[in-house]
Structure 1
Amino acid sequence: MAEEEVRLFRTWSSPFALRAIWALELKGVPYENIFENLSSKSQLLLQYNPVHGKVPVLVHNGRAVCESLVVVEYIDETWTQNPLLPEDPLERATARFWAKFGDDKVMQSIWDLVQKGREEQEAGLAQAIESLQPLEEILKGKKFFGGEKIGFLDIALGWLSNLVPVFHEITGLKLIEEERFPLLSAWMKDFSGFPTIRETLPPHDKLVTKFRAQLEALRAKSRSQQ
């Protein structure tokens, strides 16, 4: 394993690339980071991911694997130590279901909310909170979504632990408060405080600057089109 070539094409801030990083780190797999500038993509990135040209891309012995959750599953199946997905087929399917729910419903509702103007945010906040409620329910009796240790679903939802505080600061809206979501709040602290995770998180202040500028650009573009 130590002689294998493992390279990860990523950006410094991508929450999707973090999924691959966390899986590799939790497995103890040595890898090389290849940092990309998505406004000027390298030919290698376009070669390895010609369909979308996005990160992350995992290159293992010259063969590319794309899409973050697919990459995490590939890592889990290739390096079998410290398994991330449950062994039971139903539990595996359930973890995949909630991971997709996290991307399609939770992430989308939160991003939609963050982009809204003040006058539209009340309705958007209610929708985002509604999408988070099932996650609170499935954490009952567990420290992590994977049980007593970090698993596939924790990695899939891990973006909540570093991006929600960023969105809190940018918008002033409180999405995940301890009073409303005690289990989810505790999970965020436990997950982001876990040494392997904590050491790989992008700097909070740098993320705030990046997303604030991104939102201002989106809103300026929207105003110019009205």
Structure 2
Amino acid sequence: MTDLSDRRAMVTGAGSGIGRACALALAQAGAELIVQDINGDNAMVVASEIEANGGKAEALVCDVADEARLASAIRRIGPVTILVNNAGVAGQNAPLEAIDREAYDRMMNTHVWGAFAATRMVLPGMKEAGWGRIINIASNRGQVGFERSSHYSAAKAALIALAKSWAREFAPYGILVNAIAPGVVRTAMTLSYGEAAVAEEAQLNLLKRWATPEEMAAWVMVLVSSTGDFMTGQLICPNGGDPIVGI
């Protein structure tokens, strides 16, 4: 089993879904957790769950795009060497004409600037340690687009491009950066579209099912373990075959 007992990790959007599963998996491996979420109740529940299982965690309740709050927390808690950029919001199932500037800004601020802000805050500690792992949680829609939520697809595509760019920029410091592009995962966010929508999307992949958050967290654990020591700038696609993509 991966031993992360000497590591501190931050997972953004860790109050539910994939973020929660990642936080619990990292804590089980021994990492100290910063459980970031804009929903304070959810963040505190996950932090309490980690501590009840013998781990160490602190809830960080803020907007992920709030650099000042992130910086203050890291100064107080200590440097972070594992970052999972997971915070996100659901896109409108709407055509371009129905997506206004407010919806667009919220999508980009949370997904893209949120990842920027969190990465900027942890980077000095990773550079000093000469070791770091950053994982951006993207989406299959960032690869192939989506006809009813173009701003969501664009935000997720940006996370993929950021992972590739940061991998090049940070490699000299021992910092590896990758992205994960899940297919349909059964979470509170996807269920906000309704059970029928999740079931319909599951039929688009070859396995005809949705994934669990824990299946995505397992790939995060591969990337932060020694197994992932020669992996950077890559996109991992646990999507059930939706889509199958080549080089």
- Quickly name the TM-score band, shorter chain normalised: 0.3 to 0.5
TM-score normalised by length of structure 2:
0.35
Structure holding more strand per residue: 2
Find the structure with the greater CA-based Rg.
1
TM-score normalised by length of structure 1:
0.37
